[in-house]
Amino acid sequence: MKSIQQILAEAEQAIAQATSTSELQEVETRYLGKKGAISQLLRQVGSLPPEERPAFGQQVNAAREQLEQRFAERRTELEQAEIARRIEAERLDVTLPGTPLRPARLHPLTLTMRRVKAALTGLGFEFVDGYDLEEFRYNFGALNYPEDHPAMDEQNSFHIAPGYLMRTQTTSIQGRIFEQLQRGERQLPLRIAIIGRCYRYENVDATHSHTFHQVDAFMVDEGVSMAHLKGVLTQFAQLMFGSEVRVRFRPDFFPFVEPGVDFAISWKGGWLELGGAGLIHPNILERYGIDTERYSGFAFGLGIERIPMLQYGVDDLRLFLENDLRFLEQFPIL
């Protein structure tokens, strides 16, 4: 049978050799656990002569206390070493430069559409939504197109099904609004605006795309004239491009206006065409039961892409569709 001294010596050695708190825990169980060496010693008390029992018991208890203290000391040592190792392993150099966050930004067309919307809303127009997939009769029929107008040719638009196409112009909202007026869902005067995608079967080049955006606005009230049109367009252009900008009209033809004009803004010493406009054709107003003796209206429409192209000097419209970050990151974060 091992002596108390032997057991103590072995235990001391095992404690010193333990390299982790979990190893130390195993050693502790081996010596101080219920079935450990010290408990086994205590069980021998009964086999000793009675006079030796108290002294033996004291020695075993002293040995237990000594070991308990050693375990506690060693545990503290090992815990500190483990913490130090973890700190080393998980070390964080707070002086390293961080990973820059890339702030989200709005697409230049979105920025432009928001500005257009704010400007026209400020001028009293109510924005409505239309349909990208539109009925032929709204895109053309309601807009006074003659039966054989070339724009209605399948070559210029994306026909989806008989009677349906991808709208070629946001002006297609007019017929729908006039029908709402006829049904009593709206009242005169009307001041309506719309922004949306338009689609044309066209070759893509630096200034044309098969998919682009337009904004349209129209107004119907008593005594609306070209002067109102020019006033509103001038204010709109000045809100978009600066207070120096002037607006020029030149005669142009669109089936749904009479007179019809194209309008340009003064820009860097010259004139830049932005879109079409005019007084809503009386045929259209009459068709929807509006008394043309009393009421008249103007309408204008322009391409959205044109605006940031002018403003930021972008020379190719395709850049807006390509989602190249090197391009998009040059626009302001809002």
Q: Which is nearer to ligand FA5, 18 or 143 (CB)?
A: 143
User: In the bound complex, which residue of the shown chain has the CB atom lying closest to ligand FA5?
Assistant: 303
State the minimum distance, in angstroms, from the CB of residue 97 to ligand FA5. Answer: 43
State the minimum distance, in angstroms, from the CB of residue 213 to ligand FA5. Answer: 8
CA distances from 234 to 103, 286, 296, 315 (A): 35, 28, 20, 25
Ramachandran angles phi, psi of 198, nearest 5° = -130, 155
Q: Which is nearer to ligand FA5, 64 or 306 (CB)?
A: 306
Q: Are 232 and 241 in contact (CB under 8 A)?
A: no
* Separation of alpha carbons 142 and 164, rounded Å: 14
Q: Which residues bind ligand FA5 (CB under 6 A)?
A: 169, 171, 200, 202, 208-209, 212, 214, 216, 254, 257, 275-278, 299-303, 305-306
Closest CA to 7 of 43, 44, 32, 35: 32
- Sequential DSSP letters for 8-74: HHHHHHHHHH--SHHHHHHHHHHHHSTTSHHHHHHHGGGGS-GGGHHHHHHHHHHHHHHHHHHHHHH
State the minimum distance, in angstroms, from the CB of residue 235 to ligand FA5. Answer: 17
- E strand map for the chain: 126-127, 133-135, 159-161, 164-166, 190-199, 211-222, 247-251, 257-267, 270-280, 295-303
Q: Which is nearer to ligand FA5, 301 or 308 (CB)?
A: 301
Q: Are 237 and 245 in contact (CB under 8 A)?
A: yes
State the minimum distance, in angstroms, from the CB of residue 128 to ligand FA5. Answer: 15
Q: Are 41 and 8 in contact (CB under 8 A)?
A: no
Q: Which is nearer to ligand FA5, 18 or 261 (CB)?
A: 261
Query: How is residue 183 written in tokens?
Result: 């049904």
Q: Which is nearer to ligand FA5, 28 or 262 (CB)?
A: 262
Q: Residue 323: helix, strand or coil by DSSP?
A: coil
Q: Which is nearer to ligand FA5, 36 or 276 (CB)?
A: 276
Cα 128 → chain centroid: 23
> Helices 226-241 and 108-122 sit at what angle, rounded to 10 degrees?
140
State the minimum distance, in angstroms, from the CB of residue 106 to ligand FA5. Answer: 20
State the minimum distance, in angstroms, from the CB of residue 269 to ligand FA5. Answer: 21
State the minimum distance, in angstroms, from the CB of residue 105 to ligand FA5. Answer: 23
Q: Which is nearer to ligand FA5, 28 or 216 (CB)?
A: 216
Q: Residue 278: helix, strand or coil by DSSP?
A: strand
Q: Which is nearer to ligand FA5, 112 or 209 (CB)?
A: 209
State the minimum distance, in angstroms, from the CB of residue 278 to ligand FA5. Answer: 5
Q: Given the DSSP bridges, would you call strands 190-199 and 126-127 parallel, antiparallel or unpaired?
A: parallel
